[in-house]
Amino acid sequence: MSQTNILLEAGTNELEIVEFFIDEVVEPKDGGPPQIYKGYYGVNVAKVLEIIRLPRVTEMPEVSHPSVLGAFNLRS
């Protein structure tokens, strides 16, 4: 018997994770040079709809919040 779709069966107690990382510039409290923090994360693949590469981001000068990089056109 083939087990190719074992993760689709209920009660297998198996989990698949998609891993990714996000780089963040961290300003040290002691006034030293900025450091790059690479945060690693994982999400259950059953919750993932799509994986895309980071597209070209257009800056939005009217938005000055540090957590906003800009906007991009995902589907034309």
pLDDT score at 19: 96
Q: What is the CA radius of gyration of the chain?
A: 19
Q: Residues 52-63: what's their mean pLDDT? A: 90
DSSP class per residue in the chain = ---TTGGGSTT-----EEEEEEEEEE--TTS---EEEEEEEEEEGGG--------PPBP-TT---TT---B--S--
Q: Is the pLDDT of residue 8 over 70?
A: no
For the chain, the average pLDDT equals 86
Confidence label for 7 from pLDDT (cuts 50, 70 and 90): low
Domain spans of the chain, in order of start: 14-47
Identify the pLDDT of residue 76. 83
Q: What is the pLDDT of residues 28-40, one digit of tens each?
A: 888 899 999 999 9
